[in-house]
Structure 1
Amino acid sequence: MFFLRCSYGHLIFCDDDGFYIVNAFSGTKVVPPCLKSDNFIRTSYVTLTAPVASADSHLLVGSGGYLFQWRIGSDSWLEHYPKVPFLRIEQIIAFKGKTYTLGSFGSFCIVQFSPSLLIQKFEVVFEEDRTEDRYWTNQKTWLVVWDVLLLIKLEAAGRISPEAFHFKAFKLESLDARKKKARWVKVDRLNNWAIFVSADGRCEALSFMNPERWGGRSNHIYFPSYQSEQPWAAAQLWQRANNHSTSSWLLKTGSQ
């Protein structure tokens, strides 16, 4: 089987027979019915929309311009052609009754599943420079639920030191449905929270309250250090840091 994604605490695999949603701790599996469609060629992305136990949980599978939707426990798949240019969902997160996604080419979308599938695409506008952002080179991004919906950005800190970087944080401030723009404003501190991110785009970002309970530090972003003696490293939000393994993420030109 091939590992496709970790989503809401479950591992999603596939083989020639179909997909498998596996609880990483108990080993129990949820197996969707076989996906049969002439428009399903190969999997370009796959994700859950909510925890498996939720009544609103779906498995989404992308294949080219098509989107396939399976409600957990149902007997069949729904097939959609969203007509959203260059849409490839890379991250999806549910927050206060709405489903948000980050996708290819820096797209930010709201996905509605009922009564029918509707995807609204917004351009991202940051308060810091008031310009639209396309997640160009030397950036990586993550959506994460904190007290609000956060967008975490990893950016190169300058050209002088190729290994210098910093993490930035923004919260979703407003959505302009008419102009199709999503405005994000700066978050200076995470207070008594820490956030874990991964270089592997198949893993979602996670937030934790009171990290001091296990020896961690609040207002820090934790990331893999790829060192056996210290598997995790941390950087304070908005502060310049240096780490060779982290700077190598920036060479992926913003891809997840």
Structure 2
Amino acid sequence: MCRHQGWADLPDALLHSIIPLSGSFSDLLSFAATCRSWRASISSYPLKSTLSALFPPILLQPDIPVRSPHHRPFGDKLPCHVIDLASQHSHLRCQIPLVNLSTANNDPQSPLGSFCFIGASCGHLIFSRNRSCLIVDAFTGVSVSPPQIPGDEYTKVYYGALTAPLASPNSHLLVSNESHTFVWRVGSHSWLRPSPCDGTVKQIVNFKGQVVGMNSSHALFVAHLGPKIRVQEVLVSCAEMPTIGNLSNLCLVACGDKLLLVGCQGSFPARGDTFEVFRLYQSTDSPKWVKVEDLGNWSIFISTDKRSQPLSCMNPERWGGRSNCVYCYSHDSEHWIAFELGRPASNPSNFVFISCGSVVQPMWVVPSMFSG
């Protein structure tokens, strides 16, 4: 005779069959908050990379704070406005460090007062102050401080990214300054400098189990993280490079089994400007970029700050979105815009400003527990 079991005792096989039936990341976060065993079932879910592509990323809007700056429920962090496109009536909160709510350093008592934003990846925000770094989980507020970066008091870091969420066994933080790139294995006591590494790192993405990146010269490379950290340049055919060289805000995007290069035909995606996409094609001779005319049943999400990792979503019609589109955020309307590939936005008055700065800009994020 079987003994009655509670909801917390449901087997992982059953829970794993329920997880992909969710309708949004909001649903999945509620699922994970039910109890410890349900949260563990998400951690052990075998296809998290596939799961993360089923739903649109969550939009963080730090330029629309939900509370007064004088009210601090999280100490040195404040919740900011959050929208889940697939569940717009959800009540998610994101914890943004106070330093990023204003360009002015008007909070001298905050230990984050002089930190600057340098990147976002795997559900985490990354900050730097000279040789110090801070990694903050956007939804839990949990933070980690790596050891100081090699250098002197004038060292300034311009880019930072995680190769995997902090909880992953092989998570590394990669940071880049004007002349060098350094890698820190989470939990270790020192930084390593990969060799060789020509040009500073501009961006990295996770693609098919590899860390693929682009340097300041837009050259492609693969970062090997063990047992010895090294960077291997990928020689790509230059047939399309004249066209690609005329695009602005170039970024890499992992889109299913394709690695894409996305750029804007114009200084900013507005006033008639369009997005163009190229796919890395592995030919028998050498890899080359091939123009993509249609994204099929995929859409791409690009944040206002170019140091935030672009994301992708499959079958966006499932939640009311549109395929073959690049989603951006417009400060003018405080809303997102969908650019159909190769076409300007339907409303020409919308203006999307993509840049780099010391403060957190509106960005698309996948919660860290689903970024593995």
Give the direction of change, closer, same or farther, for the CA distance of 1:39–1:103 in structure 2 (3 Å limit): farther
Q: Is 2:264 the counterpart of 1:154?
A: yes
Say if 1:247 and 1:138 are closer, same or farther in 2 by CA, change over 3 A: farther
What displacement does 1:41 show? 2.4
**2:139 corresponds to which of 3, 9, 25:** 25
In the alignment, which residue of structure 1 is the partner of 2:211? 99
Larger fraction in strand = 1
Deviates more, 1:114-123 or 1:230-239: 114-123
Deviation of 1:99 (Å): 1.4
Instruction: Tell me whether 233-242 or 103-112 shows the greater mean CA deviation.
Output: 233-242
DSSP 3-state at the match of 1:227: coil
User: What's the CA shift string for 1:178-230, capped at 9, x where partnerless?
Assistant: x9x631223332232211112311211111123224322111111112233x5
3-state SS of paired residue (2:217) = helix
Alignment match, 1:254 = none
* Letter of the structure 2 residue corresponding to residue 182 of structure 1: P
Q: Number of matched residues?
A: 237
Paired residues for 1:1-256 under 5 Å: 1-15=115-129, 18-37=132-151, 41-80=155-194, 82-84=196-198, 87-125=199-237, 130-133=239-242, 135-147=244-256, 148-156=258-266, 163-174=271-282, 182-228=287-333, 231-241=335-345, 243=348, 246=351
Shift, 1:237, TM fit: 1.4
Distance across 2 between alignment mates of 1:163 and 1:33: 45
Superposition TM-score, scaled by structure 2 size: 0.56
Q: Give the distance between the partners of 1:241 and 1:133, measured in 2 at CA.
A: 25
Kindly tell me: are residues 17 and 173 of structure 1, through their superposed partners in 2, closer, same or farther at Cα, counting changes over 3 Å?
closer
- Structure 2: tracts of 5 or more residues without a match: 1-114, 356-372
Aligned-partner residue type, residue 266 of structure 2: A
TM norm structure 1: 0.79
Alpha-carbon distance in 2 for matches of 1:118, 1:134: 30
Identity over aligned residues, as a percent?
A: 36
The one-letter code matched in structure 2 to 1:139 is S
Matched residue SS, 1:169: strand
Q: What's the CA shift for 1:232? A: 0.9
Distance 1:2 1:140 in 2: 21
**Residue 93 of structure 1: how far off its partner (Å):** 0.8
Asked if the contact 1:4/1:14 (under 8 Å) is kept, the reply is yes
Does the aligned pair in 2 maintain the 1:194–1:211 contact within 8 Å?
Answer: yes
**In the alignment, residue 224 of structure 1 is paired with which amino acid?**
Y
Q: How far apart are 1:248 and its partner, in Å?
A: 6.2
Question: Does the 8 A contact of 2:176 with 2:182 survive in 1?
Answer: yes
Report which of the two has the higher share of helix. Answer: 2
How big is the shift at 1:244?
5.0
Structure 1 residue 83: deviation in Å? 4.8
Query: SS of 2:211's equivalent?
Result: strand
Amino acid at match of 1:172: L
**RMSD between aligned alpha carbons?**
3.0
Take 1:227 and 1:44, find their aligned partners in 2: how far apart are those partners? 27
Give the structure with higher Rg (CA).
2
Unaligned 5+ residue runs, structure 1? 251-256
Greater CA drift, 206-215 or 69-78: 206-215
Higher relative contact order (CA 8 A, sep 6+): 2
Output the amino acid matched with 1:203: S
Q: Secondary structure at the match of 2:187?
A: coil
Are residues 139 and 34 of structure 1, via their aligned partners in 2, closer, same or farther at CA, if it must alter by over 3 Å? closer
Paired letter, 1:68? F
